[in-house]
Homo-oligomer: A and B are copies of this chain.
Amino acid sequence: MKTINIGLVGFGTIGSGVVKVLQSRRLYLKKKTGLDIKIKWICDKDLKMKRSVKVGKKILTRSIGKVLYDPGIDIVVELVGGIHPAKDIVMEALRQGKHVVTANKALISEFGGEIFRLADELGLSVGFEASVGGGVPIIKALRESFVANRLDVIYGIVNGTSNFILSKMAEEGLSFGDALASAQGLGYAERNSYLDVSGQDSCHKLSILALLGFGISARPSIIYTEGIERIEPVDISFAKELGYALKSLAIAKKDGDALDLRVHPTLIPKSHLLANVNGVYNAIFVKGDLIGEQLFYGEGAGAAPTSSAVISDIISIASHTSGCLKLKKATFSKKEARVVEKIGEIRTKYYMRFSAVDKPGVLARVSGILGKHKISIASVTQKARKAQKIVPIVMMTHEALESDMAAALKEIDALSMMKRKTVRVRVEG
């Protein structure tokens, strides 16, 4: 029986979840894996807070040094979150010869390259399954299972809060604000939901998926990110009539030599499996040249699924003298591909809703401007006029260049017959 000593840093919700499982299933895991996973230290700056799990006082400490400089510790589990001091903890743990397991998507998306380089040099492993998709094993799949593939596409619904809000808006016709309030009431959204609804959280996760799937180190700040705050229920229901669902997608897509990376509200055909992923669930769609199309679906957050992922990393590392499959430098510092940094360079289809006054000639004017900018129309529906005499015109286009679309919309929205800014949502699938 091999004993593995864990030093856990960050004793919050996730930390307590991990401790609870490791304590209550120590024997079960011993039998299954031949490993005795022992928690040697738990470090947190606040030791007085009430936790959902009981631990011996002797293993609790406020001093991070106790964990980092204890030669008996095999794996440091970082569950602090954020960049500071998480980054210093992780780098120092590696320098001290310890493997690292982390659930920290902000850290890995910002400094993954630096961390993996150090780990590779020192022959150590870094596990971060919990950083994307909660308990969904997408990291292991990209790292190990799809290793022989060349991927074309990764599309993901990777933020459960946004997906819950959009599902609620679709099912009950709620406004964004009311759906957000409902999510907060149910505990699916934090009081401060900015990271979730702005798309920032998805952007962090996309950066990690791009690194593993395409070998591209793209810092979150260069990824085009659009939140769901301005989505109106009317667009969700018009989209539905046209056979689409509206989802917030994180998209990584090969575009010739370059990689197209972006996070934004997206229409996807109802027949696509992603369109049927509702509530707080996450799902990640992957297309590769050998595997074809695959989808992973599951709970993307919460203490239990995240603990499951953290423990699977611990056991993967512990069961191999050599740790889990190394991320070789070559896998995260590819030079030949470049990231499409300007959203204007992408080509996609669009949904648009124009709010025009009810006068003849509106459609002729709009389609004239679109044509001038090389945007061709796939379908157009004029909706019933409202009391205010604003006529919603809903249009689907063929593929067009984003910069052309932006120029056309600027011109259209300047027309006096337009009563509101035009809504445009990109279409995939």
Contact = CB atoms under 8 A, between A and B. Distances in A.
A409 interface: no
Interface stretch (A45-53, A259-267, A292-300): A292-300
Contacts of A328: 31-34
B289 A294 contact: no
A23 to B, nearest CB: 12
A245 interface: no
A146 interface: yes
A31 B330 contact: yes
A14 to B, nearest CB: 12
A320 B320 CA distance: 6
- Taking the full assembly, how many copies of this chain does it contain? 2
A168 to B, nearest CB: 16
A232 B291 CA distance: 33
A28 B276 CA distance: 36
Nearest to A25: B148
Interface of A: 21, 25, 28-29, 31-34, 129, 134-137, 140-141, 144-150, 215, 273, 276-277, 288-299, 302, 304-305, 307-309, 311-312, 315-316, 319-322, 325-326, 328, 330-331
Complex A-B, nearest 6 residue pairs according to Cβ-Cβ distance, in ascending order: A137-B145, A294-B298, A135-B291, A290-B308, A295-B297, A148-B311
29 contacts: A29-B148, A31-B330, A32-B147, A32-B331, A34-B328, A135-B292, A135-B294, A136-B294, A137-B141, A137-B144, A140-B144, A144-B312, A144-B315, A145-B308, A145-B309, A146-B308, A147-B312, A148-B308, A148-B311, A148-B312, A148-B315, A273-B273, A290-B304, A290-B305, A292-B305, A294-B296, A295-B297, A316-B325, A319-B325
